A and B are shown apart, each in its own frame.
Chain A
Amino acid sequence: MRSEILFEAKDLKKYYPIRRGVFRKTVGYVKALDGVDFQIHTGETLGLVGESGCGKSTLGRVITKLVGNSSGYLSYDGSENLLELNEKQFRKYREKIQIIFQDPFSSLNPRMSVGDSIAEGLRSFKRLSSTEISAKVSELLESVGLDPDIGYRYPHEFSGGQRQRIGIARALAIEPQLIIADEPVSSLDVSVQAQIINLLIDLRKKYNLSYIFISHDLRVVNHISDRIAVMYLGKIVEISSSNQVFNSPQHPYTQSLISSMPQMDSEQSAHISPLKGEVPSPINTPQGCRFASRCPRVMPVCRKTEPILEEVTPGHSVACFLYKNSKT
């Protein structure tokens, strides 16, 4: 099953300048994204995992152009480079790409009724009469598993899980094709998480959506994604089908991430020593491989040159010298 490429990113970069002094002189950059490439096919879910500060949320925001001044190449369905478009030209792609935010408590406007929040996108993108809009809002609320008549109520009247459903309804309102879900379940209770994941799986089938599913919870990502990209300090270090990444991880970072996941029903993780040290600051990224300072299998070459993401087996790319050597 090889469908067409819906979305493509090449060499995506986002540097945040650090300014100091009276004249706000730029003294350095936080390299939140430093050359990210990936593709998403129609109907596919790409999982994005990594620890905090690795750039996963920045990636979601760069794609939706919620943060500007990024460089690289983004294309939607074979279009020209989205990053070079101005806001007016980009508008027609806004309908296609929507985002679900992490924290359902702060991402809804407390002074707007839920119905208005959901209708906001409809009003600005679709030409609909007010009766059509309210019909559509009820329909959306119903499709995310809420009572269709609650449109007049306000966000504070809802629980976290219900608010996240509202956030999802909002993203769905203008019928996008690609939804970026930025940690959609991490602030929810365990018993409610499963409900939201099920909802996302149902909606994907119903509307043939593609997702970029950002999360730090490997188990959840593995469950919902077709492919998984593992990020470390602004770069993708491994990308492959979720089965491959989860069951035969190649990059030492992915391996240790998976082994440090708390296991429910075995002591299998007990013998693997946890990863030492912490993620280095993205301000002065070390020369060579970014992971070299924590890597259990570091080699001299890792500290000098940076490995590039290369295919090890078909469909499985890893950025690590361990596999380069074995091939040549």
Chain B
Amino acid sequence: MVTQPILKISHLSSSFKSGHNYIKVVDDLSLHINPGEVVGLVGESGSGKTVTALSILQLSNCLLEGSIELNKHELIGMKQEELRNIRGKKIGIIFQEPMSSLNPVFTIGKQIAEVIENHEKISHKQASLKAISLLENVGISQPDIRYHEYPHQMSGGMCQRVMIAMAIACQPQLLIADEPTTALDVSIQSQIITLLKDLKKQYNMSILLITHDLGIVAQLADRVAVMYAGQIVEDAPIKEFIKKPEHPYTLGLIKSLPGKHKHGEKLFSIPGTVPNPLSWPNGCHFHPRCSYVEDQCKVNNPCLFEVSPGRQSRCFFAGRLPDEK
């Protein structure tokens, strides 16, 4: 039996208007998320991860092309009222900076209860009781007292827990976590990862985990999609991905991690820098930095194709890359 994906993105392009031109930030992105699956979307800054997340919920005013289907319902072109029913109810989102994404003038309890009241027919009192139990669920001690506190009274880790409580308040089928731990310390980071793991089991949610840290993806995700310059360059189950990446960029990323090297030895590094969306190179977006580059890469942009069942790569040499470990 083939499982129906919860979210299916096909050939999505997002462009921002700049003067008379449109600048493409996400280019021909296809991705699906199955029920109960955690998909890691990895990439460096400027690769289009966050724009992808915002495009799914249509929270940014960019021009969208392609299709985004949630349970077979097309989201692009949907009316605002219908979208509001989906945001927060069917799809929850956690933003990167917990301190700045909460409203400083309302108590955290009120902000969580607001989500519940908007989406469910429930009295004010019941909503606040539910908010308190949610706070408890995400590991905040003394939730009935904390309910009445403001964001500035809490630490970064606690604010992130509040954000998570808000995102899961209506038990969404899909949770988008945009760099949920980037602004946090290592010890708090591992607390949040454990929390997300537990919640995923408890609510049977799918999670789209956006991050630049391969270590976090390895701990949490079932499948990983790597973005480079607006495109997905590789899509693979996490274990196989770590064993043998099928794209020169991901190969370079994994090789450049300090853990793989002898102490004090020079690290492997990818030359050059991430290109700006204004000046993506012709052909394969990665070719100026690639060590396997050939003439065809400079002219033709390869499409994402299946290397082996369940694994996709956007490279002419996928499946034929040398095993360098």
- A residues adjacent to B (C-beta < 8 A): 51-52, 159-162, 189-195, 197-198, 201-202, 216, 218-220, 222-224, 226, 242-243, 256-257, 260-265, 269-270, 273-276, 278-279
Contact = CB atoms under 8 A, between A and B. Distances in A.
Given A51-B186, A197-B267, A264 B259 contact: yes
B171 interface: no
Nearest to B45: A189
Most buried by A among B45, B212, B216, B263: B263
Given A190-B253, A260-B189, A261-B186, A162 B258 contact: no
A264 B267 contact: no
Interface stretch (B72-80, B144-152, B268-276): B268-276
29 contacts: A160-B273, A190-B44, A190-B253, A190-B256, A192-B269, A194-B256, A194-B258, A194-B270, A198-B267, A201-B266, A216-B185, A216-B186, A218-B186, A222-B258, A243-B263, A256-B187, A262-B215, A263-B215, A264-B257, A265-B242, A269-B190, A269-B219, A275-B190, A275-B191, A276-B191, A278-B155, A278-B157, A278-B158, A279-B185
A162 B216 contact: no
Nearest to B268: A194
> Size band of the B side of the interface?
35 or more
Nearest to B262: A223
Contacts of A222: 258, 263
B273 A262 contact: no
Contacts of A192: 269, 273-274
Contacts of B214: 190, 264
B252 interface: yes
Most chain B C-beta atoms within 10 Å of own C-beta, residue among A161, A197, A262, A269: A262
In the A-B complex, list the 3 residue pairs whose CB atoms are closest, starting with the nearest. A262-B215, A260-B190, A194-B269
Contacts of A162: 273
A219 B212 contact: no
B256 A191 contact: yes
| From B186, B212, B257, B273, residue with most partner A Cβ within 10 Å | B186
Contact of B267 (A189, A194, A256): A194
A261 B258 CA distance: 13
B194 interface: yes
Nearest to A158: B273
Contacts of A159: 273-274
Nearest to A294: B187
Given A262-B189, A262-B190, A219 B44 contact: no
Contact of B212 (A190, A195, A278): A190
Contacts of A198: 266-267, 269
Nearest to A52: B185
B242 A223 contact: no
B61 to A, nearest CB: 26
Contact of A257 (B187, B219, B257): B187
Contacts of A202: 266
B54 interface: no
A263 B218 CA distance: 7
A274 to B, nearest CB: 4
Contacts of A197: 258, 267
Contacts of B309: none
Contacts of A52: 185
B259 A219 contact: yes
B70 to A, nearest CB: 30
Q: Which of A52, A226, A243 gathers the greatest number of chain B CB atoms within 10 Å?
A: A52
Nearest to B261: A223
Given A189-B212, A190-B44, A274-B191, A223 B218 contact: no
